[in-house]
Amino acid sequence: MRRGCLRESARSTEEPSDGQRCQTGRIAAKTPSRAFLLASSAARNFGSTNAVLLRCSWLHLFMSRRPHALTPPTWQAPPPLLAAIASSDLPALADALAAAPGAPSAARAPDGGSLLHAAAAGGPAAAGALTTLLAAATIPIGGRGTAARTARKTPLHVAAATGNDAAAAALLAAGAPVDAVKASDWTPLMTAAAGGHAAVVHTILRGGADVWAVNRQGAGALALAARAGHAGVVRDLLAAAATSAGGGAEGAAAAARLAGVRATSGRTPVFGAVYFGHPRVVRMLLEATTSGGGAPEAHHVAADGGGWTPAHEAAYRGQVPCFRVLLGAAWRAGGSGAVAGVLEATDAAGATPVDVADGGEGGRACATMAAAVAADVVAGRRLDWVDPEGVGGAHDERLDSSGDRNHHGIGVATV
């Protein structure tokens, strides 16, 4: 075989032409493997082409046919063992554990997690099995799964994700690390908050979870609950921050600081609530900010890195209820001046919220509302109509009359 022909074939990634065929009639591989290229280099250097290629082919076959020779084996839990855990069949579980050498510490569920992961994901039906496995004391209580699908979750992460409060309590009582992080630095508290599992959130908070912890994107449990619209969880997290600071004025200030934590993007939790259209959560976060001594414009004018404010976000997304809440909160906190600050805030390009309003129905409604509010500010009229549910926490029945429902042509929405 000519060395030039071999060199040309090894470099090519396309089907060779007739001119690239070797004297022996063989054709180079369409996509040469690394082993083949190394063999070609060795052939050029030492001249023993056929011998090297023969050994290379044998090695390639060995590696492709016998991956277990290169990867350590893992012990898969037999179906009876997993079934006993899922149904909390304790006698069957005891028999399965006795029949499985090395179990339960070496056993793995199909997704790569330990038996504790499987029990934590089993819901209330697997509570007895979880207790049995914890009593065995042979499985690392904070051990993470090994397969990609487990995302380095601990059993407590699994309990938090599935809303299994009983499992979370049992794991914490057995010493599970409450602030262990999985992929992207999510803690169990973040996982429970994002899923809206209020009972698990309470349990983990009682276990001493850090309410201030953030993931790689700088988002904490509060931001994750806010963007998902879990108002009850948002309230509980703010209360936890206040309680940890001793309550009173110090507690209110701590809750305000938590509501103002910025992610790596520069955005506070209220941005996520506005983006996904959760006006109740928006109002809750704004009230926490102003109650804690924050400036009325704290969530309105204090924008992200590009000068974008929550009002910009609401107008751009056409989130009319959220836009209404933002203006109403500014009015209650700082009067006409705060409202003007919301409407006149400009981003890095000099655009106001009205300038970026979406061209659809929602964006046009936001622009109409902004014009009506601006007119009332100039005229010195009160703006309680903007967000009536935020006034004293009660709905203003006056706005239910046909004459006032369409004040300025804008219907009053119940949030």
pLDDT at 127: 75
Task: Give the pLDDT band (50/70/90) at residue 252.
Answer: very high
**Containing H/E element for 76?**
strand 75-76
Summarize the confidence of residues 287-313 as an average pLDDT.
71
pLDDT in tens, 72-100: 344 455 566 777 777 767 777 777 766 66
Least confident of 112-121, 291-300, 368-377: 291-300
CA 31: distance to chain centroid?
40
Q: What is the pLDDT of residue 89?
A: 72
Of residues 120 and 144, more confidence is placed in 120
**Exposure string for 47-74, b = 16+ CB within 10 A, e = fewer:** eebeebbeebeeeeeeeeeeeeeeeeee
Q: What confidence tens digit (pLDDT) does each residue in 141-168 have?
A: 666 665 555 677 888 998 999 999 998 9
Query: What integer pLDDT is reported at residue 61 of this predicted model?
Result: 41
**Residue 49, amino acid:** T
User: Whole-model pTM?
Assistant: 0.71
DSSP 233: H
| pLDDT at residue 163 in the model | 92
In one-letter notation, the amino acid at residue 42 is A
pLDDT higher than 80, residue 376:
yes
pLDDT of residue 135: 74
Closest CA to 193 of 183, 180, 203, 182: 203
pLDDT of residue 140: 66
Model pLDDT for residues 301-311, shown as the tens digit of each residue: 456 778 889 99
**What proportion of the chain, given as a percentage, has pLDDT over 70?**
63
Q: By three-state DSSP, how is residue 339 classified?
A: helix
Q: Which two tokens stand for residue 44?
A: 């050029």
Residue, of 107 and 310, whose pLDDT is higher: 310
**pLDDT value of residue 268:** 92
As a whole number, mean pLDDT of residues 319-347 equals 91
Supply the pLDDT for residue 289.
87
- Least confidently predicted of 93-107, 302-316, 321-335: 93-107
Least confident of 13-27, 51-65, 309-323: 13-27
Delineate the domains of the chain, giving CATH numbers in brackets. Answer: 3-69 (no CATH), 295-415 (1.25.40)
Q: What share of the chain is helix, strand, coil (3-state, %, to 5)?
A: 60, 0, 40
pLDDT at 29: 39
Beta strands in 79-140, from DSSP E residues, in sequence order = 107-108
pLDDT of residue 396: 32
- What's the chain's average pLDDT? 74
At residue 291 the predicted structure's pLDDT band, cuts being 50, 70 and 90, is confident
